[in-house]
Amino acid sequence: MLKLLLVGPFPPPHGGVSVHVLTLQDLLVKSGITCQVLNLSYGAPRSDRYVSGRGRLHFIFLLLRYSLRGWSFHVHINGHNAKSWLVALAAGLAGVIGRRDRAAMLTVHSGMSPDYLDSGRLAAVLGWGTCVFYRRIIAVNSEIGAALRSLPVPENRIEILPAFLPTSTILAPLPDGFEEWARAHEPVLSTALFFRPEYGFGLLVQALSELRKKHPRLGCVVMGDSESRPQGLKQYIHAIGDVTHESCLAVIARSDIFVRPTFSDGDAISVREAIALGTPVVASDVVDRPAGTLCFKTGDPNDLALKLDSLLSGPRPLRHGGSQPAENRIHRLLELYS
C-alpha cells in the first residue's frame, strides 16, 4: 500500500505552495492514501497534520526514517534559491538510501526558478544533480519546464501540471470587521500577496491611486504577510494579514475583482481560485494565464488601472466558475503516484 510523505511548507503562513500542500494532503487522505507532511518550517507548532524538524540534522533524520519505513516522497520547493534545491537534494538522497530507487516526485513552484537555474554553473549543476534522484519532476508552468529541460533533464521525466487543486465550495465566514469595511467601499477589490518586490504591491498602489480619481469609494483588501503591513494607506487599503485558506476564498468570492500585480509567477493558485469562484481577475502577463483572466502589461501601473477600469465601468462580466480542470489534476497526480 502506498504511503506518501509530502515534503514542503505548510500553513501558516498561507502562501501558494503551502496551500497546495495542505489541499493535496486533504485530497489524498480522502482518496484512501496514507499521507503525512514533513513541514519545512523548522520548529513549527505541534500538529497532527504534519511533523517538523528541529534543525537540519533532525530534518535529515526524519527523511531517512520515513524512507527506511517504506514511504515514497513528493517534494515541493519554490526552486528560486540554493536552499530549496538542497532540501530537494537531501530528500532525493534519502529516498535512494532507504528505498533503493528514485524518490517519487519533485514539484518546482516558483516563477523565479528559471532565473535561478540560469544564474550560473553552480545553480545549474545543483538543479541537475537534484533532478537525477527523481523519476518525475513537475513544473507548474511551461517556463519552469523549459528551464528544467535546459539543465538538461530528460523530456519524459518532466510533467507540466498547474498547482491548483479542487477545494471545497463551502466558504468560511468573512474575517471579523470585513463586511463593515466592505459596505463603506464600492467597488471592492482583493489581492493575496507578500510585501516583497516580486509581488508588485507598490505597482498596485500606483494603479489604485489613479483609479480612485474615477472611483473614489474604491477599496482593496490585501491578504497575506502579517509582519509588514503597509502604513498610511488605510483610507482605501485594508491589510488583514495572514488568513485561513477558507477565509481567503470567502473574501475573493465577496470581491468585485481579484488582482494579481506580480512581476514573477509560477502557477498563481489564487488566480485559478478566483476564476473557479466566478470573480473577475486582472493579472500581469508575466506568464500564461488561465482562460478568463484579463491581463495587463507587467510592471505598467497605467495599464493595470486601465484594465481594472474597463471592468468597473463596463457591463459587469457574468460570474461563472468551474472546477473540472482542477479535478483532472488530482486524477493525474494519482496516476503518477501509482
The CATH H-level (homologous superfamily) assignment of domain 178-313 is: Glycogen Phosphorylase B; (3.40.50.2000)
Going from the C-alpha of 70 to that of each of 28, 94, 190, 276, the distances in angstroms are: 17, 11, 44, 37
Using one digit for the tens of pLDDT, what is the confidence trace for 127-166?
999 999 999 999 999 999 999 999 999 999 999 999 998 8
The CATH H-level (homologous superfamily) assignment of domain 3-166+326-337 is: Glycogen Phosphorylase B; (3.40.50.2000)
Q: What torsion, rounded to 10 degrees, do the Cα atoms 49, 176, 191, 169 define?
A: 60
Residue 28: how many other CB atoms lie within 10 Å: 21
Q: Can you list the residues of the chain whose pLDDT is less than 70?
A: 99-103, 168-171, 226-232, 315-326
d(CA 266, CA 16): 9
Residue 205 confidence (pLDDT): 95
Going from the C-alpha of 25 to that of each of 4, 5, 29, 32, 41, the distances in angstroms are: 9, 9, 6, 11, 17
DSSP 9: -
DSSP 187: S
**At 205, is the secondary structure helix, strand, or coil?**
helix
Q: Is residue 179 within a helix (H) or strand (E), and if so which, with residue range?
A: helix 178-183
- The pTM of this model reads 0.90
In the chain, CATH 3.40.50.2000 sits at 3-166+326-337, 178-313
d(CA 308, CA 286): 17
Q: What are phi and psi of 293, to 5 degrees?
A: -90, 135
Using one digit for the tens of pLDDT, what is the confidence trace for 302-325?
999 999 999 998 766 555 455 456
Contact present, 209 and 220 (Cβ < 8 Å):
no
